[in-house]
């Protein structure tokens, strides 16, 4: 599809400088864009690219528009506007309703007439697939599970028994919702499995990246709030609650029964131990290890940045002797205190 720059300005509360009749066909980066494409810039350290890009138009904030000679769509938030323009120009592929001949659908399942059930999908007893939902190849929708209206399971997604996916969700390949939580009771030298009897409930507008796993609760439910965005290869353990509009990057692990508030961000490869409370509007940087509850909004870090190996080895050696150095310092302090007292007398 093609949309004029003037139409984009009307839809997204922008202002055109340049050719309002320019037909835009594709969203692209400044480096790869061509004359039919629109790109954006929100980080001023890349201003020099405005002179070299071949983009037909660029989405810019007002202060940056002077650096662009060609057509510009001026908006308050270029990144957000670009996201909306890209959604318009590149919508999700349309599908026809129905079911592929190889799909296995239980007679007791309820599948909306407007939904699509793809090749080799299994829909078990009592499951429900609602209006305009898309169930891609190889998915499993377990017994009494539910997939909300307009949600898309891209392919090879598992929705476990009695788990539910809200409306307008997007689940990428390999996602598993409702696998058993890691619950075992010690029995001498062995372990006895604790049955995991809860569910997983996803709110509306949730996106879950490839190969992310969300365990069902042990007794109560694992809850993922509306608007939550989860990257690839995240592990969310049983009974975790994640508040609305929180975003979590790849390789994060969240242990059981932790509660994370609304509008939080968690950087890649962070680890969060179990039974913690993290309030709303907390931002945890990449690689951090969180072992205590966070009760005040703000940014938190615990990881160390990379440094030259030789310097790191020296510091590691010093750290190894930290206890010895502390004892020596204590002795020196005691001697100094004794010397001061003798001097005063």
Catalytic residues: 238
Cα end-to-end distance, the chain, whole Å? 92
SS3 of 224, please? strand
Strand partners, 58: 39, 72
- CA torsion 54-57-59-61 (nearest 10°) is 90
Task: Render 117-156 in DSSP notation, one character per residue.
Answer: E-TT-EE-TT-EE-TT-EE-TT-EE-TT-EE-TT-EE-SS
309-320 and 322-344 helices cross at what angle (nearest 10)?
Answer: 60
**For 243-258, b where at least 16 C-beta lie within 10 A, e where not — what string?**
bbbbbbbbbbebbbbb
For the chain, counts of helices (H) and of strands (E): 5, 39
Residue pair 279/259 in contact (Cβ under 8 Å)? The answer is no
Q: Which of these, 133, 179, 171, 139, lies nearest to 156 by C-alpha position? A: 139
Specify the DSSP element, H or E, that contains 22.
none
Question: How does strand 265-266 pair with strand 247-248?
Answer: parallel
DSSP state, 44? G
Residue pair 268/287 in contact (Cβ under 8 Å)? The answer is yes
Residue pair 222/257 in contact (Cβ under 8 Å)? The answer is no
Residue 294: Cβ within 10 Å count: 18
């Amino acid at each position: 599809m093609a949309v004029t720059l003037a139409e984009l300005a009307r839809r997204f509360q922008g202002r055109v400088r340049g050719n309002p009749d320019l037909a835009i066909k594709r969203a692209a980066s400044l480096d790869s864009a061509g004359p039919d494409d629109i790109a954006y810039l929100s980080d001023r350290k890349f201003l020099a690219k405005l002179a070299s890009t071949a983009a037909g138009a660029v989405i810019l904030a007002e202060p940056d528009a002077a650096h662009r000679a060609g057509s510009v769509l001026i908006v308050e938030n270029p990144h957000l506007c670009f996201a909306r323009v890209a959604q318009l120009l590149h919508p999700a592929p349309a599908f026809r309703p129905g079911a592929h001949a190889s799909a296995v659908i239980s007679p007791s399942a309820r599948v909306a007439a407007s939904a699509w059930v793809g090749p080799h999908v299994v829909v078990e007893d009592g499951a429900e697939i609602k209006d305009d939902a898309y169930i891609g190849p190889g998915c499993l929708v377990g017994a009494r599970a539910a997939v909300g209206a307009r949600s898309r399971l891209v392919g090879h997604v598992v929705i476990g028994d009695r788990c539910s996916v809200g409306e307008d969700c997007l689940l990428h390949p390999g996602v598993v919702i409702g696998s058993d939580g890691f619950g075992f009771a010690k029995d001498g030298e062995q372990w006895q499995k604790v049955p995991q009897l809860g569910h997983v409930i996803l709110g509306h507008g949730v996106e879950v990246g490839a190969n992310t796993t969300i365990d069902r609760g042990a007794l109560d439910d694992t809850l993922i709030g509306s608007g939550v965005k989860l990257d690839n290869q995240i592990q969310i353990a049983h009974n975790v609650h994640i508040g609305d509009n929180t975003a979590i990057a790849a390789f994060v692990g969240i242990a059981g029964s932790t509660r994370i508030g609304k509008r939080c961000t968690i950087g890649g490869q962070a680890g969060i131990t179990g039974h913690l409370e993290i309030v709303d509007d907390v931002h945890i940087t990449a690689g951090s290890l969180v072992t205590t509850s966070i009760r005040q909004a703000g940014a938190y870090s615990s990881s160390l940045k990379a440094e030259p190996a030789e310097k790191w080895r020296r510091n590691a050696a010093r750290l190894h002797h930290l206890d010895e150095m502390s004892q020596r310092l204590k002795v020196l302090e005691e001697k100094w205190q004794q010397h001061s007292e003798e001097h005063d007398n």
